[in-house]
Amino acid sequence: MDLVFGVCLKYFKDPERSKDAVMDVYEILNAKLNQHEVANFRGWLHVLARNYCLMQLRSPRNIKTTEFNADFMQSTAEAHPDSEQAIKEENLSKLEQCIGTLPEEQRQSIELFYLQQKCYNEIAEATGYDWNRVRSYIQNGRRNLKICMEKEDGTA
């Protein structure tokens, strides 16, 4: 009985609730012993008590809920000056500045690829650059844009 009480007290942290749980575990014990052959009674009883306590703690009646009051939440864009839209606009502004700092070949390739959605072949035809150069300009341009954006954010 002390073993079961100790296990229950560990989980419930309330002596009265633990005493009630001991009684419930012993009621379950009577039914379970008829169904199972137990080789190590002490270990089996410990697991039975632990599982009982965990199931009680997980039961829906033990989940505490509170009523949601929308008046306590600031959910409008005016209440959040750093709203998602403002952050997007700030990032786009930084991106425009960073695109302007790229070397001409990278800037032109980046604009054609990302803004005008042209493929490598179309960019090569439009600019006269070799296909491999276009690929290189886009790759290097992306890397330089990332570095520039990190500097603008102050994270670099």
* CATH number (domain holding residue 112): 1.10.10.10
Q: Which pTM was predicted?
A: 0.45
**32 located within any domain:** yes
- Quick one: 57 and 88 in the same domain? no
The answer to whether 45 and 32 are in contact (CB under 8 A) is no
Please report whether residue 75 resides in a domain.
no
Q: How many domains are contained in the chain?
A: 2
Task: Judge whether 27 lies within some domain.
Answer: yes
pLDDT digits (tens, 9 = 90+) for 1-51: 899 999 999 998 989 999 999 999 999 988 888 888 888 889 989 999 999
Provide the residue range defining the domain that includes 110.
84-153
**Residue 38: how many other CB atoms lie within 10 Å:** 13
* Per-residue pLDDT tens over the stretch 105-126: 999 998 999 888 999 999 999 9
